[in-house]
């Protein structure tokens, strides 16, 4: 059960920033970190790593972008280095299992494990839906130590006998509250029941709803509860993000976006939309106007989404237009601005969206564009945020002084791309309207028939 007495509450401050070398990690791991230019910890890492190395179960509350991936990845890899004989190659059995709510987060976490562990002989396999399972099964057959997975695909492969969870020594739940939001929590409990109760379990979440606490009580052994908070937590974890809310006309929003892209804040921008069609349309429009835009939405194949995200991370695109599929768990360094093209559905969606900027102590800017029809919705969201944003946003246009003040122009507008075509607001798949007037079928012309004389034979009686 959760031990409510054994709780660590910390503030995000310098007194909790330590050197990784002082936490008891294997020197091979700290050498890799130094080679990557990483030496000092974030508070969540300083608090969780020593507890994890001691074998304690952990129930950790920390905001998105606080550095929690390393807080569980380093202890997991450290365990594998200290126990080289415990490898999960035989019978497809992993030693370390990490569960993530989304494919994108799954790939990101797996990349962290691979970058740190591959040179040390620790192999990681990534398991997620939306991609061919044959490739993942092949990777499993080649042997691995760490499995980073989404719950649905993992359960499928377990039921098919492709992977066995009986030898899991350490199980990590990342973004547990997001799993609850998208309906994966029952699948998570199914997976927990497939593993040995003696495993070490670590749960990380931005919030701690009752269902998450209940899982801790049922499946964890007297965990230490860690709550790493800072002054930003009272404002939804966004105190280092400059937030702006404008009431904007639908036809002027693209002009506002282009003004932002031509300003200093437009170096690396993420735009969030409510619908897949809007995301694709905005991306097409920006590309037609000469900007380097990429998109991620649910209508794209998984491999296409991965390529778009990789291109954006690699600096091949100035702006990423996305639906909420990318709103959480994706860490892209140096995002200078987040724009909500549409009003989010609730306060959690708002916080997750703008959390793509201002990560890991950096400063960021967020702009939300609210339609007239969404003013009441925004008022409700703002009430839940308990911030200083207006319930009735000011009416701002791309030519307004406020827009020019926030986005002073520092770049020339790029030349239009003649090969790109702007997408009409109507769907590309919309069929042309058919006329209600019936169309007469064209008959094949026929040659006139020749008149044939018909011989009439009269028969008289008696003949």
Structure tokens at 42: 């974030």
Shared fold status for 7-229 and 234-406: yes
Structure tokens at 199: 């495993």
311/294 Cα distance (integer angstroms): 8
343/248 Cα distance (integer angstroms): 11
Say whether 459 sits in a helix, a strand or coil.
coil
Which fold is adopted by the domain 7-229?
Answer: Rossmann fold (3.40.50)
What is the distance, to the nearest Å, from the Cα of residue 421 to the centroid of all Cα atoms in its chain?
A: 28
415 burial type by CB count under 10 A (0-12 exposed, 13-18 middle, 19+ buried): exposed
At residue 189, φ and ψ (nearest 5 deg) are -65, -35
- What is residue 458's predicted lDDT score, i.e. its pLDDT? 56
**What distances in angstroms separate CA 294 from CA 107, 279, 287, 306, one per listed residue?**
19, 10, 9, 11
Residues 6 or more apart whose CB falls under 8 angstroms from that of 134 comprise none
- What is residue 2's predicted lDDT score, i.e. its pLDDT? 45
At residue 143, φ and ψ (nearest 5 deg) are 100, 140
Each residue's pLDDT tens digit, 334-389? 899 999 999 998 887 888 888 888 876 788 999 999 999 999 999 999 988 877 89
432/53 Cα distance (integer angstroms): 64
Residue 387: CB atoms within 10 A of its CB come to 16
Q: Locate the domains of the chain by residue range.
A: 7-229, 234-406
373 burial type by CB count under 10 A (0-12 exposed, 13-18 middle, 19+ buried): exposed
- What is residue 209's predicted lDDT score, i.e. its pLDDT? 81
According to DSSP, the residues that pair with 319 across neighbouring strands are: 269, 293
| Helix, strand, coil content of the chain in percent (nearest 5) | 40, 15, 45
Each residue's pLDDT tens digit, 305-334? 888 888 998 889 999 999 876 655 567 888
- What is residue 436's predicted lDDT score, i.e. its pLDDT? 45
Q: Which CATH architecture has domain 234-406?
A: 3-Layer(aba) Sandwich (3.40)
* 10-residue mean pLDDT series, the chain (463 residues): 49 59 91 88 90 94 79 95 70 87 89 92 91 89 92 94 92 88 87 93 86 87 80 51 94 95 94 91 93 89 84 91 72 89 87 82 90 93 85 94 94 83 49 47 57 56 50
Q: Which of 39, 67, 38, 48 is closest to 10 using CA atoms?
A: 48
Say whether 409 sits in a helix, a strand or coil.
strand
Say whether 275 sits in a helix, a strand or coil.
coil
287/289 Cα distance (integer angstroms): 5
């Amino acid at each position: 059960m959760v031990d409510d007495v054994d709780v660590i509450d910390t503030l995000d401050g310098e007194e909790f920033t330590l050197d990784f070398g002082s936490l008891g990690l294997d020197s091979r791991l700290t050498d890799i970190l130094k080679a990557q230019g990483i030496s000092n910890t974030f508070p969540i890492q300083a608090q969780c790593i020593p507890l994890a190395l001691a074998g304690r179960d952990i129930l950790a509350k920390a905001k998105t972008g606080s550095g929690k991936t390393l807080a569980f990845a380093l202890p997991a890899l450290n365990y594998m280095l200290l126990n080289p004989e415990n490898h999960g190659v035989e019978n497809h059995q992993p030693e370390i299992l990490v569960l993530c709510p989304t494919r994108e987060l799954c790939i990101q976490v797996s990349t962290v494990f691979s970058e740190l562990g591959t040179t040390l002989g620790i192999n990681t396999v990534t398991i997620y839906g939306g991609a061919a399972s044959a490739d993942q099964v092949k990777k499993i057959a080649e042997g691995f130590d760490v499995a980073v997975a989404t719950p649905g695909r993992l359960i499928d492969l377990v039921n098919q006998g492709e992977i066995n969870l009986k030898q899991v020594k350490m199980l990590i739940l990342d973004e547990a509250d997001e799993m609850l939001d998208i309906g994966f929590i029952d699948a998570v409990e199914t997976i927990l029941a497939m593993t040995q109760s003696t495993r070490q379990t670590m749960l990380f979440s931005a919030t701690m709803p009752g269902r998450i606490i209940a899982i801790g009580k049922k499946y964890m052994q007297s965990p230490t509860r860690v709550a790493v908070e800072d002054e930003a937590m009272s404002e939804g974890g966004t105190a280092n993000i400059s937030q702006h809310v404008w009431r904007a006309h639908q036809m002027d929003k693209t002009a506002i976006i282009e003004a932002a892209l031509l300003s200093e804040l437009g170096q690396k921008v993420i735009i969030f939309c409510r619908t897949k069609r809007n995301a694709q349309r905005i991306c097409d429009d920006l590309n037609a106007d000469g900007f380097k835009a990429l998109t991620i939405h649910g209508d794209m194949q998984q491999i296409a989404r991965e390529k778009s995200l990789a291109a954006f991370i690699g600096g091949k695109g100035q702006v990423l237009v996305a639906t909420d599929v990318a709103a959480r768990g994706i860490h892209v360094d140096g995002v200078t601005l987040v724009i909500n093209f549409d009003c989010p559905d609730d306060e959690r969606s708002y916080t997750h969206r703008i959390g793509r900027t201002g990560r890991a102590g950096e400063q960021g800017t967020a702009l939300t564009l609210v339609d007239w029809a969404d003013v009441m919705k925004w008022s409700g969201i703002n009430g839940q945020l308990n911030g200083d944003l207006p319930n009735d946003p000011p009416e701002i246009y791309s030519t307004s002084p406020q827009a020019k003040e926030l986005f002073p122009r520092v770049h020339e507008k790029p030349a239009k791309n003649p090969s790109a075509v702007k997408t009409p607001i109507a769907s590309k798949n919309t069929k042309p309207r058919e006329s209600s007037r019936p169309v007469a079928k064209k008959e094949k012309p026929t040659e006139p028939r020749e008149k044939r004389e018909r011989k009439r034979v009269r028969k008289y009686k008696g003949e």
